[in-house]
Chain A
Amino acid sequence: MSRYLLKRIFGALIVMWAVATLVFFMLRAVPGDPLAAMLFDVGDPEAAEILRVKYGLDKPVYVQYGKWISRVLQGDLGNSIYGSRISVSRIVSEALPRTLSLAGLSFVIALSIAVPAGLISAIKRHSSLDHAVTFVAFLGLSMPDFWLGILLIIVFAANLHWLPAIGYAPLSEGFWPWFSHLILPSIAVGTAFSAIVARMIRSSMLEVLSADYINVARSKGLHERRLVLVHAFPNALIPVITVIGIAFALLMAGAVVVENVFAIKGLGRVLIQGILNRDYPVVQGAILVVSAIFVFSNLLVDVLYTVVDPRIRYD
């Protein structure tokens, strides 16, 4: 198992390096001079040239790459080329907890809805309850998260004044400020995710519930609740975990748009701003972190399989 983990971690690092390298060169291939745009209003071409030399952007791309990768290996992600040149590590480390909070709370809310909904839908198959859950699931899948977010702001913030419309409060300011700022964006992000997971659970449960061992257990007189929760549900989880692992990564992607709607400076907004401003170091650093989240969350999913199904072992 440990050999397997080491191999996977090594593979993950290779993937991260490949993604970062691809992004590095792609960014420089994208048209648009970041410094000229930044100083357009100043209208001083000399100022742009001075900054270009200062930031090493006048060097050949391969030289820039060599310097950047050697600094990354030393743990230095570089500095933003805008404003006061804040370090990328600082920008990312401030943004990441917000995105993780948003994605995490979305995950919890989504699963809280999806698991019971999927179970009920499977147990009460073809009933009106099943149809209702299916309808709501498809509705959730159909609604764009940014649209849902704006709707939630209009209803719960602007009209009812129950919750704040925008912003973020760290947990250090108290649970309620943190939660009240995140509940609306989490619902916006998590709705589609919960719909996917609910449908997946339903489908997987139906397959398991029709298995022979379940029929045997039922005929032996096992209580239905125990049958479903202890015998059927854990076995139905394996394909669901795969979806959850991928969907969590998609949650992070969905957070990008919703962060903009709710004015939360998370990793998504850092990336968007960085790309729009051609702030190369920020985009490179943020992409590294995002790719790390993706590859390691997939690794986590693989490890979780062994917990859920003891038959699965890696060498």
Chain B
Amino acid sequence: MKKKTDPLLEQEKTRIKEEWDSAYDYDPRDPLFSLSQSEMSGPTLSRRSVLRLMAAAGTLTVAHLLPGVGMGSAQAAAKKGGVLNAGWAGVGELRTLDPAQINQVLLFQVASNVLSGLMHIDAQLVARGDLALDWTVSADGTEYVFALREGVTFHNGDKFTADDVVFTYNRSKDPQKSIHSRVVSNIIDASAVDDYHVKLKLEKPQASLLGKTLERSAGRAMTIVSSGALESMGLQQYGLTPVGTGPFRVTAHTMGQQLVLEKFDNYYDPDRPKLDKITIQPIIDAEPLAGAMEAGDIQIIGGNPVAPELVDRFESNPDLVVDIVPAPGFQSVWINPWRDPFKVSNFDKPIDELKKDKGFKVRLALAKAIDRDRYIHQAQFGRGVPAYGTINPAMGFFFDDSLGDRSEQRFDLEEARQLLADAGYPNGEGFPKLEIKCTPSARREVQVIKNILKTNLNVDIGVRTMDFPVLIDDFRTMNWDLLRIGSGGDYDPDDGVVDWMQTSSKFNGRDRDKAKMPFGTFSDKEVDALVDAQRFETDPDKRKAMVQKANLLTSDKVACAFIFHPVDVLVHHKSVNFPKESRIPGLMDMDRVTIS
């Protein structure tokens, strides 16, 4: 059984455009982002204000405004109670649920059901307090005072007070205790005014504070932990069975075997959660996961993405529901610009001049020879969107669906063969034997790429699999010919172009020998300038133009051979009601989930 997203109606498009324009209608010099103090203060932030702050923080995407994601849907009267058995795909164990140590989304999927933040953005994109009841902000945007919800208790019965917020902040800012210390670096002080008021002092105004840093699902550094529980349980046990104020409490955790969450009866919202209990089993391999789903051992799949080879099987099962939405991210084959035969030491040339370089001809030939539709059909079982840049469909407004027709990388077999011949390798003759590195889980997909290149260009590429730690080492030191890696969770252009495409990007050959390699995977001054400029551009149309131009340049100049944008697949039994407001790609908030 398959659910598909309905096409947008005209009035929806108009609404999205209006909301988008309003969100970006602010003066970036204004510390309150052209909102009044009362608009920035509690007890709620209106949808308009939330969108404005997200825009100012650079995290707003059209995906947030789409119906079914941004808007709440009327939920049928839900039956409370029941036990939900979940399988967490592609993982052997849930190593820690301590927010200060969480480094994977699949861990936070669990933690956000157990722990709370000060804020929460609901289905209507209205920011309400989670543990905060109300708040005020100073005129200069650097001081926030939160009135905390009274009567909230942690799962162990300890009262939640302002001291817990201060404790969480102090813990998170210490790099010895938290791997997310940079996230709170703009907060210079947190102090308890009294038991139920806490003040946060910022170094400078921060648009993302309310909507991201302090948000229940997005924030990690400021996910509120229990100081009492940490002290009595110790760090190790707390990481296994964290104590929070969330709708579910951890009642058992046998690492690698099963985690049990039970309804927290004293949760501050008496209407949530709906379920009595959730059991979560990590299931690392695809076939046992499918077997468990079909046997009824589990009713929903969370964790890592579902293996593509299973989706057809699930869709053909009348007892299962498969919901597919665009996922943020891109996947590529990277081509080392410092190795023959595709060596390019200077990308700072117009494309016509670059095309005269022998090394660039080979790069372009490889990229153009990859039939992305065939790849998606064979490697991803037909699920995915051909990619020509880092900007993905989930970024909505920024995504250029004409790029596939314009990019130099677009599939063109004759041109690819001609380029290779011009580079001195007619019909692949004399082409050196190269290696493409990947993780073992990507081997099958890479085999498809290898076969496509062999068929289309008659070039032999060896496949070398290696564990992720080794692959990362090699990737960062530029020790590879070709390498298959990509990115996920990219909701904003910055996640793509800033993190990957600039000369100074954190994933751009960070540990290379800089004396021998002035840049890592790619470097272009115009791209660097465009990416820098778009980060601070408030006019959405201008920002879009910059992003799309930078994206086109990285595509035309073959920063890498872009392959596809993935999809997010949610699989559950038909008896499970997973409401649209909970359907955020990457997250598994189950406080509104019910079982029929």
Contacts and interface: CB of A to CB of B under 8 A. Distances in A.
Interface of A: 31-34, 36-47, 50-51, 54, 79-80, 82-87, 90-91, 94-95, 98, 150, 153-154, 157-159, 161, 164-168, 260-265, 269-270, 272-273, 276-278
11 contacts: A39-B179, A42-B179, A85-B236, A86-B236, A94-B255, A94-B256, A153-B288, A158-B294, A158-B295, A168-B257, A277-B469
B502 to A, nearest CB: 13
A42 B180 contact: yes
Contact of B175 (A33, A50, A261, A262): A50
Contact of B285 (A50, A94, A261): A261
A261 to B, nearest CB: 6
B92 A273 contact: yes
Given A83-B101, A165-B295, A36 B476 contact: yes
Contacts of B473: 31-33, 36-37
A82 B180 CA distance: 15
Interface in B315-341: none
Interface string B223-254: 00000000000011111100000000000001
A76 to B, nearest CB: 14
Interface residues of B, number: 52
Given A166-B283, A261-B285, A273-B92, 15 more contacts: A36-B473, A37-B469, A41-B103, A41-B104, A86-B95, A86-B240, A91-B255, A94-B254, A94-B257, A98-B257, A154-B291, A165-B294, A261-B287, A276-B467, A277-B469
Nearest to A275: B467
A262 B282 CA distance: 11
A40 B297 CA distance: 33
Contacts of B98: 83-84
Interface in B467-518: 467-470, 472-473, 476, 499, 506-507, 510
B161 interface: no
B30 to A, nearest CB: 30
Contacts of A44: 179, 182
A204 B104 CA distance: 55
A166 B288 contact: yes
A224 B281 CA distance: 53
Given A44-B179, A82-B96, A150-B287, A36 B469 contact: yes
A46 B235 contact: no
A167 B291 contact: no
A157 B297 contact: yes
Nearest to A49: B175
Interface of B: 87, 92-93, 95-96, 98, 101, 103-104, 175-176, 179-182, 235-240, 254-258, 281-285, 287-288, 290-292, 294-297, 466-470, 472-473, 476, 499, 506-507, 510
Contacts of A164: 295, 297
Nearest to A31: B470
Contacts of A80: 95
A40 B467 CA distance: 14
Contacts of A46: 175
Nearest to B96: A83
Contact of A270 (B256, B281, B287, B510): B256
A153 B287 contact: yes
B531 to A, nearest CB: 16
A165 B424 CA distance: 56
Nearest to B507: A43
A273 B291 contact: no
A278 B255 CA distance: 18
Given A83-B95, A260-B284, A157 B104 contact: no
Q: Max chain A CB contacts within 10 Å: which of B101, B179, B470, B476?
A: B179
Given A37-B468, A37-B472, A47 B93 contact: no
A31 B468 CA distance: 11
Contacts of A43: 499, 506-507
A161 B255 contact: no
B467 A165 contact: no
A84 B179 contact: no
Given A47-B175, A273-B93, A167 B297 contact: yes
Q: Which 8 A-B pairs have the closest CB atoms?
A: A84-B239, A265-B256, A83-B96, A32-B469, A83-B95, A37-B469, A158-B294, A153-B291
Nearest to A79: B236
Contact of A262 (B235, B238, B239, B288): B288
Contacts of A86: 95, 236, 239-240, 255
A84 B96 contact: yes
A165 B285 CA distance: 12
Nearest to A161: B295
Contacts of B507: 43
Contacts of B255: 86, 91, 94, 265
A195 B163 CA distance: 65
A150 B291 contact: yes
A31 to B, nearest CB: 5
Contacts of B103: 38-39, 41-42
Contacts of B101: 83-84
B92 A269 contact: yes
B183 to A, nearest CB: 10
A148 to B, nearest CB: 12
A262 B297 CA distance: 12
A43 B472 CA distance: 12
Nearest to A50: B175
A165 B239 contact: no
Contact of A95 (B87, B236, B256, B283): B256
B291 A158 contact: yes
Contacts of B258: 167
B496 to A, nearest CB: 14
Contacts of A262: 288
Contacts of B291: 150, 153-154, 157-158, 165-166
Contacts of B254: 94, 265
A162 B61 CA distance: 48
Contacts of A167: 257-258, 281, 297
Contact of B95 (A79, A84, A87, A168): A84
Nearest to B505: A43
B292 A165 contact: yes
Q: Max chain B CB contacts within 10 Å: which of A50, A83, A261, A264?
A: A83
A126 B181 CA distance: 75
A158 B176 CA distance: 47
A43 B240 CA distance: 24
Contacts of B257: 94, 98, 167-168, 263-265
B295 A84 contact: no
Contact of B467 (A32, A36, A82, A91): A32
Contacts of A41: 103-104
A90 B98 CA distance: 18
B509 to A, nearest CB: 13
Given A84-B236, A161-B295, A263 B282 contact: yes
B312 to A, nearest CB: 16
A83 B108 CA distance: 13
A36 B474 CA distance: 11
B306 to A, nearest CB: 16
B288 A263 contact: yes
B288 A261 contact: yes
